[in-house]
Every structure is written in C-alpha cells, then in structure tokens.
Amino acid sequence: MKHSKTKLNLDFAKRMRTLMSNRNVRLIDIARYTNNAVSTVSTWRRGRVPKKEQTILKLSQILSVKRDYLLCGKCGKKEIIFCNENDSKIFDNPEESLIDQIKISLEKIKVTSAEQEKELSKILKALKKMQQI
C-alpha cells in the first residue's frame, strides 16, 4: 500500500528535518534510539509518520519536543511557526555542542553596563550547569 504525502505528513517531515538539523541529530542516532533501521527513519524524514505511538514518543524525546508539536506543529492549543529550512548554519562550528556555541556567542556580546554584565554572567552560569547535567 502506497502512502500518500498529505500536507500534514509533509509538515511533519519538515519539522523533523528542521529539528534534526537544529539539534545535530543524525538518522543513525534516531535509528538506534527508536530501534528502527536507518532506511525506516529516512522515510519518516520524507513524510511517512511512524505508525506506533511508542515510536512517535521516542522520536519526540530524542528531538526534545512534545509529541503534539512533532505531529501537528502545536503546543497545547497554540500553533507554532517554525523557520524555513535552509543550508546556512547559525554557528561557525557545527561540531561543538549547542550550549558551547551559545556560550561563545554570548561571550562576544559587548557589555555596556554593570547590570548587563551581571545578567550575562547569570546566563553563562546557567549554561554551565546545563552542560553538567
């Protein structure tokens, strides 16, 4: 039976690709986490939604989003608009963790007041704590 590519399926695929890119999650990472073949995960990335609820939950876990967002683009009753996919990267070095990249970017900010410096220091400390978890 051939699966049709509805708008919902294509939106799911776009969210999945965007999340994978933003979180540096590879097909092989998802395949291992969900206990599926890479080829199966690749079909999800092209718009075929996993049939098993447990698989959808694991997929949302590895992508760090709620199930409803992954499937429908909604969080609660609010629709979330996500940025268009493109090949450009926000950060210079994609091998670094997202937290490291954020820290580097924050350290480049020019601080013009003691209050800004204090707030920036709080953010950097919070990021360091997150990195230890």
Same domain, 37 and 68: yes
Same domain, 54 and 22: yes
The model's pLDDT over 79-117, given as tens digits with 9 standing for 90+, comes to: 555 544 343 444 455 555 666 667 777 777 777 778 877
Number of domains in the chain: 2
Residue 88 lies in a domain: no
Same domain, 115 and 67: no
Same domain, 117 and 57: no
> Per-residue DSSP letters for the chain?
-PPP--HHHHHHHHHHHHHHHHHT--HHHHHHHHT--HHHHHHHHTTPPPS-HHHHHHHHHHTTS-HHHHHHSEETTEE---PPP-S--SSS-TTS-HHHHHHHHHHTSPP-SHHHHHHHHHHHHHHHHHHH-
The model's pLDDT over 29-76, given as tens digits with 9 standing for 90+, comes to: 999 999 999 999 999 999 899 999 999 999 999 998 888 888 887 766
Residue 86 lies in a domain: no
- pTM of the predicted protein model: 0.55
List the domain range (segments joined by +) for residue 67: 7-79
Same domain, 51 and 114: no
